[in-house]
């Protein structure tokens, strides 16, 4: 983070758990897009949406998990006619996403808990920027895979600094070993471009 004068950025990267995350993101919602896209060169939503758009045939229904203000949904809507639902912990972020008019349904949900969604009810999940330090850990990948039908995709970004240390890589390896997914890609990609921070753009084929 290049801007030490923005206390919200600092707090977002040292969250103690879902309660604090909800509070920080509710406060950050108004300036989040400017701070991240313009300020940090946050390209992960565009790159992940681009990749999902290449994979999924229309018509299809996609869940944007940890959708925030809707950056990934907006990028998907530019490229596709997919039906997109969004879930997030923060009502403030969801309110911003709602203003875009690209989501069918938006609702609050905690990705660290079991999701109130039926098995196999989506053709794909996209999750950008949410699998990162102090946010949502690798166990959430199990729920993302559960709600996608066999043959569908989960496209996620994992912030590069926590890929190994946060257990994401090991968790994905375990999921492959259990036969739940085929890890089609885990590509080292630009994430916060202005800060020289990369992430892993992962494509999971759901079995």
- Residues at the site binding ligand SAM, with contacts judged by CB under 6 A: 18, 21, 25, 45, 66-68, 71-72, 88-90, 93, 109-112, 128-130, 135-136
38 vs 173, which CB is nearer to ligand SAM? 38
The minimum distance between CB 179 and ligand SAM, in angstroms, equals: 27
Q: Which residue is nearest to ligand SAM (CB)?
A: 68
* Residue 42 vs 56, nearer CB to ligand SAM: 42
Closest CB to ligand SAM among residues 139, 173: 139
State the nearest-atom distance from the C-beta of 93 to ligand SAM, in Å: 4
C-beta of 25 vs 153, nearer to ligand SAM: 25
Residue 45 CB, nearest distance to ligand SAM (Å)?
4
- Nearest 5°: phi and psi at 85? -105, 155
Q: Which is nearer to ligand SAM, 94 or 172 (CB)?
A: 94
Q: How far is the CB of 85 from ligand SAM (least distance, A)?
A: 13
Tell me how far apart the alpha carbons of residues 182 and 93 are, in angstroms, rounded to a whole number.
32
DSSP letters for the chain = ---TT-HHHHHHTT--SHHHHHHHHHHHTTTHHIIIIIIH-B-HHHHHHHHHHHHPPSS-EEEEET-TTSHHHHHHHHH---EEEEEES-HHHHHHHHHHT--SEEEE--TTS--SS-TT-EEEEEEEEEESTTS--TTHHHHHHHTEEEEEEEEEEEEGGGTTTTSHHHHHHHHHHTTSEEEEEEEEEEEEGGGTEEEEEEEEEE-
What is the C-alpha to C-alpha distance for residues 69 and 94, in angstroms, rounded to an integer? 6
- Tell me how far, at minimum, the Cβ of 97 lies from ligand SAM, in Å: 9
Shortest separation between residue 177's beta carbon and ligand SAM, angstroms: 26
**Comparison of 160 and 176: residue with beta carbon closer to ligand SAM:** 160
């Amino acid at each position: 983070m290049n801007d030490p004068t923005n206390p919200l950025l600092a707090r977002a990267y040292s969250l103690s758990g879902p309660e604090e995350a909800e509070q920080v993101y509710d406060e950050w919602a108004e300036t989040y897009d400017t701070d991240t896209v313009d300020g940090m060169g946050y390209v992960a939503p565009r790159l992940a949406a681009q990749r999902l758009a290449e994979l999924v045939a229309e018509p299809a229904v996609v869940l944007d998990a940890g959708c925030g203000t809707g950056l990934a949904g907006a990028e998907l809507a530019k490229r596709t006619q997919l039906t997109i639902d969004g879930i997030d912990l923060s009502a403030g972020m969801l309110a911003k996403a709602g203003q875009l008019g690209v989501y069918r349904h938006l609702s609050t949900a905690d990705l660290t808990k079991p999701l109130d969604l039926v098995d196999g009810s989506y053709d794909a999940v996209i999750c950008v920027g949410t699998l990162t330090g102090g946010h949502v850990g690798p166990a959430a990948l199990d729920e993302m895979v559960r709600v996608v039908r066999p043959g569908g995709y989960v496209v996620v970004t994992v912030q590069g600094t926590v890929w190994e240390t946060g257990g994401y890589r090991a968790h994905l390896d375990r999921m492959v070993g259990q036969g739940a997914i085929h890890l089609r890609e885990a590509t080292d990609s630009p994430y916060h471009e202005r800060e020289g921070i990369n992430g892993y753009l992962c494509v999971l084929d759901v079995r």
